[in-house]
Homo-oligomer: A and B are copies of this chain.
Amino acid sequence: MPARSENLIAWGDCDAAGIVYFPKYFHFMNVAFQALMHNGGFGHRRLHDELGVHVPIVDAGAKFLSPLRYEDRLVVEAKVVHWGTKSFRIAYKGVRANVPVFEGYEARVWARIATDGTIATVAIAPEFKTAIAAAGG
């Protein structure tokens, strides 16, 4: 079962056409991934503070199937669909009351990020995979 997160669409999430400004959907995917990690007991803080690791995105995309307005409720499901040695891929589905809103994906890497922003990938720790899987992702 994929992990789920819920978002109430805010007035400020919408653009002048009265519907969600599409970069926000990538933010909502990010929020769903954060929830997935948190549910698995392996959040951004633990990743960074204990292991010095980040999970930057190297590829992302989405198809937008129906628009949302402010005051709508968006549920986002997140599921890891591929684990590589240093990278993994998450599939997302956004729905409002069972109406499909978007389908998207992110490819992320495990990496150390230097102060100057340089990204060096590292092997994903097995316990991270286990934690995410346990959380339904």
Partner-contacting stretch, out of A66-74, A76-84, A87-95, A126-134? A66-74
Contacts of A115 in B (CB 8 A): 18, 49
A71 & B45 in contact (Cβ 8 Å cutoff): yes
Q: Which 8 A-B pairs have the closest CB atoms?
A: A61-B61, A23-B26, A16-B18, A69-B117, A23-B23, A14-B16, A67-B117, A17-B113
How many residues of chain A are within 8 Å of chain B by beta carbon?
48
Decide yes or no whether A19 CB sits under 8 A from chain B. yes
Query: In whole Å, how far is A39's beta carbon from the nearest beta carbon of chain B?
Result: 12
Query: In whole Å, how far is A8's beta carbon from the nearest beta carbon of chain B?
Result: 8
Q: Please give me the residue from chain B that is nearest to A61 by CB atom.
A: B61
> Assembly of this chain: how many copies?
4
Q: Pick the most buried of A12, A16, A56, A67: most chain B CB atoms within 10 A of its CB.
A: A16
Q: Is chain A's interface secondary structure helix, strand, loop, or mixed overall?
A: mixed
Contacts of A68 in B (CB 8 A): 117
Q: Please give me the residue from chain B that is nearest to A31 by CB atom.
A: B10
Beyond A17-B113, A18-B113, A23-B24, whether A67 also contacts B118 by CB under 8 A is yes
Beyond A26-B23, A54-B17, whether A63 also contacts B59 by CB under 8 A is yes
Q: Beyond A19-B119, A22-B30, list 10 extra A-B contacts (CB 8 Å).
A: A8-B31, A11-B34, A12-B15, A12-B21, A12-B30, A15-B15, A16-B17, A16-B70, A17-B54, A22-B60
